[in-house]
Amino acid sequence: MNNPFRLKRFEYALAFGAMVILAGCGSPGGGGGSASTGTLSLQITDAAVDTADNVYVQFHGLELQSADGTRTTLYLCEDPMNPGETIVSDSACTTQQKSRQIDLLALNGGAVNSLLDNITLPSGHYSWIRLMVDTAGAMDSYIVVGGNPFELTIPSGDQTGLKLNRGFDVPAGGHADFTIDFDLRKSVHLANGNYMLRPTLRMVNSTMVGAIAGTVNQSLIPSGCTPAVYVFSGAGATPDDIDTDSANPDPVTTASVNPTNGTYKAAFLETGDYTVAYTCDAAADDPAVDNTADNTVTFSNIATVTVTANSITTHNFP
């Protein structure tokens, strides 16, 4: 992996499952793989949070560890000669380069931003993947609230990165395609005057997921409401807010509702049954606090919805 390749800056895709196109020019990217190699695409999406204007997280690279313990590190750096492009390389960013900074809040409703596309890797099983983030500098990872920027603290982010222990396979001569859901509603909270990001990440096979989408009746969105749809695993689940209570599982994902037309979309859901529930109290859902204990967050219009791969299941809240 001596020659870097350039990844054009992704313009946020609005269609479900949209992908960025890479122009490969040698190792470590491009090509369809051989008997001993395969290719990997990795994109990132987000379930939004209601209290912020923007949430920027700066990624300087990622690590992958294969089952035999071999570790591969790839760095994401802005090309100083072409600011609209990002270089993916096995060399760390230089002082003339910037790391890849992404506004995660723009990635909801099925929008994605590509981290890797058609990267050639040794085929086989990989045990984990780690996103390496920047938090030590000024305004590398930060949140904008009410038009004002605030530093974003990611506990242990500089030292350990954001690790996903979900194993995955890169098929010999084939292609693997995964999406990481960076759920901000579960992750951002204010503690002692500081904005904290304790990331809740899930990784899914992009070729084996579907979505739930529809509308919320305007009568359910009164003035002062912060509308959202919560999606829980399994049929007949009891809706609960996002908190630290392991006895009541958190939602798999959440979807913001457009207050103007009532539309919503919960994307990148693996096949199966889900319980959906509507709330007007999304802005009050602090992941560090159990808000259902005093009815700060309440749910209504609870229903079971079945998701199938590569399709969108319509569910409207009457």
Confidence of residue 313 (pLDDT cuts 50, 70, 90): very high
What is the per-residue pLDDT across 4-26, written as a single tens digit (0 to 9) for each?
434 433 333 323 333 333 333 33
Determine the topology of domain 209-314 in CATH: Immunoglobulin-like (2.60.40)
**Six token digits for residue 262:** 């009532």
Mean pLDDT of 171-189: 86
Q: Which of 19, 42, 23, 8 is nearest to 176 (CA)?
A: 42
Q: How far apart are CA 197 and CA 153, in angstroms?
A: 6
**Domain range annotation of the chain:** 5-199, 209-314
Residues 6 or more apart whose Cβ sits within 8 Å of residue 83? none
Indicate whether 119 pLDDT > 50: yes
Q: Please report the pLDDT score of residue 22 as a whole number.
A: 31
In this prediction the pTM is: 0.78
Q: Give the rounded percent of residues in the chain with a pLDDT score beyond 90.
A: 38
Mean pLDDT of 252-273: 93
